[in-house]
Amino acid sequence: MERTYIMVKPDGVQRRLTGEIIRRFENRGLRLIGLKMFVPSREIAENHYGVHREKPFFGSLVEFITSGPVVAMVWEGTQAVRAARQMIGATNPLEAAPGSIRGDYAVEIGENLVHGSDAPETAETEIALWFQPGELLP
């Protein structure tokens, strides 16, 4: 079974879409094995978005993700990363397919509701960053 990291961003929490997002993953057949809600520290946000450190939008990414509570989750299932990415939709919500989370609920690239790991290797790194050993169901 493959695992993926999914995060409902502050805009998704503020708009009360967390339950809808969880429902979609459950309906798809993925298994929720880790969940917690908190306001991320600047350190964790900078580590999470480290690949963008040299880009001009890095600071605004960090500010946004630390601006309110997020819901951090780990989902498990067959090809979980690929399935989740399909469900989430394109980064730019205006290019996201109808029926995807971003296609149905978002319009701005800067506030696109949800993050999902882009590869199994990235998922492992992100899960280790956001969850401590023992916080996931076996």
Banded model confidence at residue 1, pLDDT cuts 50, 70, 90: very high
User: Catalytic positions, please?
Assistant: 115
Q: The tokens of 29 are what?
A: 């057949």
Banded model confidence at residue 17, pLDDT cuts 50, 70, 90: very high
Give residue-wise pLDDT tens across range 62-120: 999 999 999 999 999 999 999 999 999 999 999 999 999 999 999 999 899 999 999 99
Give residue-wise pLDDT tens across range 32-63: 999 999 999 999 999 999 999 999 999 999 99
Is residue 61 within 8 A of residue 52, CB to CB? The reply is: yes
Tell me, what's the pLDDT at 117? 98
Q: The tokens of 134 are what?
A: 């023992």
Tell me, what's the pLDDT at 27? 98
Tell me, what's the pLDDT at 77? 98
Banded model confidence at residue 10, pLDDT cuts 50, 70, 90: very high
Banded model confidence at residue 22, pLDDT cuts 50, 70, 90: very high
Of 122, 114, 123, 117, nearest to 88 by C-alpha is 114
Cα 101 to Cα 1, 76, 81, 132: the distances in Å are 23, 19, 15, 28
